[in-house]
Structure 1
Amino acid sequence: MTSTLLLEGLGKQIQPPDGPWLFRDLQATITEPTIISILGKSGQGKSTLLRILGRLTLPSCGIMVLDNKDCSQWTPEAWRMTVSYVAQQPMMLPGSVTENLQAASNLHQRIFDVKQARQWMEQIGLDHLDWEKPAQQLSGGEKQRLALIRTLLLRPAILLLDEVTSSLDAVSKQATEGLLRDLHGRMGTTILWVTHDQEEARTTSQRVWFMANGQLLEDTDSQTFFDSPESDEAKMFLSTHPVVAEAAERVR
């Protein structure tokens, strides 16, 4: 399942041609399966970057090369089967839980693996769900996990996650993190994960992309980033966003 990804000179400008840049001249290379946490203060373009990587938003400049082929050589459908995006606010399609689980497989003409779907649903605490229940009636946390499983059934080589555990209670969060680590370990899935939870980033990721001042300011292994960040911006970020226990009650 291993895929390589090259980003060169990637940038996003707000209201071109004269508006400010959200970020620019972003350079990064992924050559082997890894889990990357994308960190930084709000407004640095982390979610926009994920949407660009998923070909849901156009960059203002730069190139993306997947498996030695420029993105222009990929159809959007083929790219999105390989590089798949899960939003922070999940969208449920009209219909039942079953129909939502089948949606991505049907769209991309893949066989719906019901056995795998049930296994993953059980692993993240959704085995209690009635599959005939309208998906719109699920809780926020249930919708988030269902959207994740729906995407995982495509078996993407690169998974883009935008704060997918932010609406989960502690037990569901831990189970979801476990599923994703297992997916990476067994199937070699690369995961790019926007999170504001430093403890999550520290315990689940192998690499950190830190965004500040309109740049990808640091790209390093997780331990090095948390123990001895290079930039003043990262040092300030870590000092003002310490790892603390989650105080707010999460949505079940």
Structure 2
Amino acid sequence: MTVFLSIDQLSKRRHEAPDRYLFQGITAEVHRGQRVALLGVSGQGKTTLLRIIARLDAMDEGGLSLHGQPADNWKPQEWRAKVSYVAQQAVMLTGSVEDNLRTVSRLHGTPFDRELARTCMEALGLGALAWSKPASELSGGEKQRTALVRTLLARPDVLLLDEVTASLDPGSKRAVEQWLNAWSEREGTACVWITHDLEQAKQVSDRVWFMADGQLLEQGDTAAFFRQPETEPARRFIEWPAAGKDEANV
């Protein structure tokens, strides 16, 4: 399989205690079309890890490579067009829905693919949303889905998804899951999902990364992970999935 992204011994120290690590020695690969569920109780640094991979936060140790080229060989804007992070709390830019959808074309000087934008909006249940509507007036769920479409229009190689269905009703949530699975299969886009919903993890991933004790403790096939995890922290996580769900992500 084609390796899109390589993570090599990535480490991050805690802001409040620089002599201690939030996580240490994270090593993994993301292949073309691979769908990864990033799991673990809150406080493990999952969001921080994704933000570092997106080059939005700095690592303390280790390295990243994209298509075999170290991160330092890429301009940050070029990297973020290929490795795109979608936050749990969507940020809408000033202007209308269409202004937001046109962000990628403005930033990169490329034609706006109106047809693709319309297809994505319809697939995510936003087909009836007026593009002239001020983005600031959208509901939380509408903002979350519009931000996702905005990112998809860049056609990134790797999508980093941070609880992107957290504000959605069950029907909209299923629509996002189905569309992203279809998108990954069609475009070859790799997806790394943070989710606390274990049923969702089973639906959207073919591979699991499990973080615990400041490490990437397990990496493996999704079905095998849920059938028989290799470590005690993972077994506890599956048996008592509510633990840590209500805590804030780090």
Q: TM-score, normalised by structure 2?
A: 0.94
User: 1:139-218 maps to which residues of 2 (within 5 A)?
Assistant: 139-218=139-218
Q: In structure 1, how many angstroms separate the alpha carbons of the residues matched to 2:32 and 2:154?
A: 20
Q: Against the structure 1 CA distance between its residues 13 and 225, is the aligned structure 2 distance closer, same or farther, given a 3 Å change threshold?
A: same
Shift of residue 3 of structure 1? 5.3
Map of 1:250 onto structure 2: none
Map of 2:226 onto structure 1: 226
Q: In structure 1, how many angstroms separate the alpha carbons of the residues matched to 2:108 and 2:61?
A: 29
Q: Is the 8 A contact 2:31 2:190 kept in 1?
A: no
Mark the runs of 5 or more structure 2 residues left unpaired by the alignment. Answer: 243-250
Encode CA deviations 1:62-110: one digit per residue, 9 max, x unaligned: 0001111000000001101110110000000110000010012211222
Letter aligned with residue 46 of structure 1? K
Q: Is the 8 A contact 1:3 1:157 kept in 2?
A: no
Shift of residue 16 of structure 1? 8.2
Q: Against the structure 1 CA distance between its residues 150 and 196, is the aligned structure 2 distance closer, same or farther, given a 3 Å change threshold?
A: same
Mark the runs of 5 or more structure 1 residues left unpaired by the alignment. Answer: 243-252
Q: In structure 1, how many angstroms separate the alpha carbons of the residues matched to 2:78 and 2:111?
A: 16
Q: In structure 2, how many angstroms separate the alpha carbons of the residues matched to 1:18 and 1:146?
A: 37
Q: In structure 1, how many angstroms separate the alpha carbons of the residues matched to 2:240 and 2:37?
A: 18
Map of 1:77 onto structure 2: 77
Encode CA deviations 1:161-206: one digit per residue, 9 max, x unaligned: 0000011000100001111001011111100000011000011100
Q: Against the structure 1 CA distance between its residues 153 and 3, is the aligned structure 2 distance closer, same or farther, given a 3 Å change threshold?
A: farther
Of the structure 1 ranges 7-16 and 162-171, higher mean CA displacement relative to structure 2 is found in 7-16
Counterpart of 1:47 in 2: which secondary structure? helix
- The count of aligned residue pairs is 241
Q: In structure 1, how many angstroms separate the alpha carbons of the residues matched to 2:172 and 2:161?
A: 16
Q: In structure 1, how many angstroms separate the alpha carbons of the residues matched to 2:68 and 2:36?
A: 21
Shift of residue 128 of structure 1? 1.0
Q: Is the 8 A contact 1:55 1:80 kept in 2?
A: yes
Q: Is the 8 A contact 1:54 1:85 kept in 2?
A: yes
2:70 is the alignment partner of 1:59: no
Q: In structure 2, how many angstroms separate the alpha carbons of the residues matched to 1:233 and 1:123?
A: 37
Counterpart of 1:4 in 2: which secondary structure? strand
Q: In structure 2, how many angstroms separate the alpha carbons of the residues matched to 1:206 and 1:67?
A: 21
Q: In structure 1, how many angstroms separate the alpha carbons of the residues matched to 2:32 and 2:127?
A: 33
Q: Is the 8 A contact 2:8 2:63 kept in 1?
A: yes
Q: Is the 8 A contact 1:37 1:195 kept in 2?
A: yes
- Give structure 1 regions of 4+ aligned residues with deviation exceeding 4 angstroms: none
2:46 is the alignment partner of 1:50: no
Counterpart of 2:102 in 1: which secondary structure? helix
Q: Is the 8 A contact 1:46 1:194 kept in 2?
A: yes
Map of 2:102 onto structure 1: 102
